[in-house]
Amino acid sequence: MSKWYEKPLRVFDLALEDPCGQTLDQWTAEDILEICCEINANVLSVAIANSWGQAYFKTPQLPVNPRMAGFNRLAEIIDEAHKLGIRTTGRWGPSRNTGICEKHPDWTKCTADNASDRGDACHNSPYGDIVIDTLKHLCDTYAIDGIVFDNFVPHLCYCRFCRDKIAAECNIDIGAPVELVETEQATLTFWAHADAESFLQRAREVCSKHDRVFFGAPAFSSRALDVIFTESDTVGGITVRDSGFEIRKVTARARVDKRPTVVSSPYGQLRYVGLPKPPAHMRQEFREIVISDASPSAVARDWELLHDRRGLAALGTVFGEIKAQEEYLIDRSSLKHVALLLSARATAILGDEACRHVDAAKGWYDVLSHAHVPVDLILDEELTAECLAQYQVLVLGNSPFLEDDQVEAIRTYVNSGGGLIAGHRTSQYDGSGLSRHSFALGDVFGCELQDVMDEAWTYIGFPSEHPLSDGFGIDTPVMHGEIEDGVTPGVREQMKVRPRGGNVVATIHDSVAPVDNGLPRGRTPAMPGLDTGYPAAVVNDFGDGKSVYFAGQVDRLFHRTGYSVYKRLLLNCIALAAGPPIIRINAPTTVEATFYEQAGTNRTVIHLLNHSYDQTFHAGVFRPVGDIIPIHDIRVSLHLPDGIRTKKAYSLVAEETYQVEDGAFVIRELAEYEVVVLELSD
């Protein structure tokens, strides 16, 4: 690792979001760098322009913030930071520029009904050249180490510049979007991402020419970036732990494109910007970024720091941990066990109903992470025989859209001994969204598609004992239904399939009329009816491997309801198709574990984060993490391959050495966070 940005970064991000610049002259570069040293930051990222299009450095392309008279804040910060050996990056959300949009309304991004898009300027208008020219001047004039593009999100724009470009490049007229067919809509979605990536590449070329590092959010790939930069705000119902799933979507992209990742989160409490988050919340939120294989960036507004600096100590704790543990964070890769597909192709084609795929993936992710099973989110391009061979089992939770070569890779993987768990419409469509009218993986599933059963409530029944039904009574079928009308599109559907060599271990039962107790529709399921005979779950031996196919959507139902029966059923699938992982952790579900290997050192590193607290985020309610309840006597069992033994097991936070007996050891207490290192023999 010779490049500075490939090492673990500890970023302090100074936001200057104020068109009046009211506090701009109330602090100095020395003040800000003193904070960086206090919290162990090794990168200072500072705003170079705000959402109103005002710059914090002198440039002919943009107006300067009116309060910045008699000084050049960016130049002063760069000079002072470099004296202390701290890297500096300039953060800019170039899309948002209300000033330029007011001056040139036709440069504004707009929607299909010609409504402007919140003051975002389109990069396909002349504004795109202004952005590039600004970067050129910045790199020519200032010794900045990198540029961070924030708030540059690829989405379809209907301005006249995009209309003309789409007509020329795609031969599609977006003047009448209601007339577009489904395949055209998918084409436009892919085009918007490719077009955004093309503009990012222009920006990167400027940075590369001047030996500056380019940070930004990826489109479908991150090849136009040096470092992936994304935000992970805990808002809109996303808890600290849920943010881990969002982060790992991004670090999956980073793994494929071999890019480092920086994840940004605010210093303030979101609902009350200006007040720092409680210390425990601050520590756990930024640790969540670290255990998800990214570097953290803490965003604070200058006036927040002038008002209340109580959050800095918590940031200093986390940044100090990263600094002390750096050798255990570099050159690491995830411990391979379960591969879980999260398909950008599926989300693009499904559009507004992307939840049909994403909910299934999130349901599986929650089940596995709560059970401390090592799991990787993998992307479409990782569906190759070579990549899949690293894993014990592949999970395709309602993954309808697969290319022919992906189907063949999956078939090869299972035939060679891999496990496969798939659900609902998986492989029914090709990669462009066209129906195959059958399952391309039907021979692997051991069943073939017939039709769709679209009943509000059905049940999954087990006619006899089977490992998949472990923990269930054969007289107690599992509910499968719509939950609430309109909340989960299509979740009530089960596929009608015919066995084709597979073993039917569960069947679909119909239902009778629900009990009329006055509750809203969807709250009271119908009573179980007769066995339809249609398979609900099929287990099939294919070559040296095994598959489990679900006709319904238990994974989506678990995501929405958390019903423990669904969790048990999904974990039974993993046990059947994959077997046990090499590391088992006996801890409550509130403990999150992530697993990494450092091949060059024969180390396995386990990060344990304690989420045993009361935290509530949803519409109108924001209660951050307060007290964290310690967890005691966590047993770690090792099932290592033959010939491999544990030479040493120790912790980095509590600084304890563990006694490994009969392949297991005990962590006496997990307060907030722990890093456990296993040094293995060759």
Read off the CATH number of the domain in which 609 is found: 2.60.40.1180
Q: In angstroms, rounded to a whole number, what is the distance separating the alpha carbons of residues 289 and 550?
A: 33
pLDDT band for position 116 (cuts 50, 70, 90): low
- Residue 230 and residue 176 share a domain: yes
Note whether residue 465 is domain-resident. yes
Place of tokens 């020419």: 209
Mean pLDDT of all residues in 597-604: 91
520, pLDDT greater than 60? no
Q: What is the sign, positive or negative, of the torsion defined by CA atoms of 328, 4, 311, 591?
A: negative
- Residue 296 and residue 167 share a domain: yes
Mean pLDDT of all residues in 348-368: 93
- Residue 347 and residue 242 share a domain: no
* Tens-place pLDDT, residues 463-501: 888 999 888 877 788 999 876 655 678 899 999 999 999
Structural domains counted in the chain: 3
The CATH code of the domain that includes 222 is 3.20.20.80
Mean pLDDT of all residues in 40-56: 94
The one-letter amino acid at 574: I
Which of 137-151, 165-179, 543-557 is least confident?
165-179
- Residue 496 and residue 612 share a domain: no
Mean pLDDT of all residues in 128-152: 94
Percent of the chain scoring above 70 in pLDDT: 94
Q: In angstroms, rounded to a whole number, what is the distance separating the alpha carbons of residues 356 and 396?
A: 12
pLDDT value for 455? 87
The chain-wide mean pLDDT, for the chain, equals: 91
Q: In angstroms, rounded to a whole number, what is the distance separating the alpha carbons of residues 311 and 262?
A: 20
Q: Please, are residues 567 and 579 in contact by the beta-carbon 8 Å criterion?
A: no
* Tens-place pLDDT, residues 13-32: 999 888 888 888 899 999 99
pLDDT value for 518? 54
- Residue 429 and residue 567 share a domain: yes
Q: Which of 468, 381, 481, 458 is nearest to 421 (CA)?
A: 468
559, pLDDT greater than 80? yes
Q: Please, are residues 448 and 497 in contact by the beta-carbon 8 Å criterion?
A: yes
Q: In angstroms, rounded to a whole number, what is the distance separating the alpha carbons of residues 66 and 57?
A: 11
- Residue 606 and residue 548 share a domain: no
CA separation, residue 164 to residues 31, 116, 160 (Å): 49, 18, 6
The CATH code of the domain that includes 447 is 3.40.50.880
Q: In angstroms, rounded to a whole number, what is the distance separating the alpha carbons of residues 460 and 552?
A: 9
391, pLDDT greater than 90? yes
Tokens of 601: 């050192």
Q: In angstroms, rounded to a whole number, what is the distance separating the alpha carbons of residues 495 and 537?
A: 10
Note whether residue 331 is domain-resident. no
617, pLDDT greater than 80? no
- Residue 138 and residue 274 share a domain: yes
Q: Which of 300, 230, 313, 229 is nearest to 269 (CA)?
A: 300
Q: Comparing 76 with 524, which gets the higher pLDDT? A: 76
Note whether residue 661 is domain-resident. yes
Note whether residue 59 is domain-resident. yes
Could you tell me how far CA 291 lies from the centroid of its own chain? 13
* Last residue of one domain, picked from the residues 545, 577, 609: 577
606, pLDDT greater than 80? yes
Q: Is 305 left (phi over 0), alpha (psi -120 to 50) or beta?
A: alpha
pLDDT band for position 523 (cuts 50, 70, 90): low
CA separation, residue 317 to residues 59, 227, 289, 594, 672 (Å): 38, 24, 14, 20, 12
Q: Is 547 left (phi over 0), alpha (psi -120 to 50) or beta?
A: beta
- Residue 633 and residue 489 share a domain: no
| Residue 536: domain span | 336-577
178, pLDDT greater than 60? no
Note whether residue 329 is domain-resident. no
- Residue 587 and residue 573 share a domain: no
pLDDT band for position 180 (cuts 50, 70, 90): low
Percent of the chain scoring above 90 in pLDDT: 71
Q: Comparing 180 with 393, which gets the higher pLDDT? A: 393
pTM: 0.93
* Last residue of one domain, picked from the residues 550, 577, 604: 577
- Residue 310 and residue 242 share a domain: yes
* Last residue of one domain, picked from the residues 517, 552, 577: 577
Q: In angstroms, rounded to a whole number, what is the distance separating the alpha carbons of residues 424 and 447?
A: 12
Q: In angstroms, rounded to a whole number, what is the distance separating the alpha carbons of residues 216 and 149?
A: 5
Identify the helix (H) or strand (E) that includes residue 149.
Answer: strand 146-149
Q: In angstroms, rounded to a whole number, what is the distance separating the alpha carbons of residues 54 and 380?
A: 40
Q: Please, are residues 119 and 47 in contact by the beta-carbon 8 Å criterion?
A: no
pLDDT value for 270? 67
557, pLDDT greater than 80? yes
* Tens-place pLDDT, residues 661-678: 999 999 999 999 999 999
Note whether residue 29 is domain-resident. yes
Length of the chain: 682
Mean pLDDT of all residues in 105-122: 82
Q: In angstroms, rounded to a whole number, what is the distance separating the alpha carbons of residues 614 and 211?
A: 47
- Residue 547 and residue 590 share a domain: no
Tokens of 640: 């290592």
pLDDT value for 431? 92
- Residue 291 and residue 218 share a domain: yes
Q: In angstroms, rounded to a whole number, what is the distance separating the alpha carbons of residues 635 and 428?
A: 43
Considering 68-82, 101-115, 443-457, 483-497, the range whose residues carry the highest mean pLDDT is: 443-457
Q: Helices marked H in 270-353 — which ranges?
A: 279-291, 302-307, 312-324, 326-329, 344-350
Question: Rounded to 5 degrees, what are φ and ψ at 454?
Answer: -115, 75
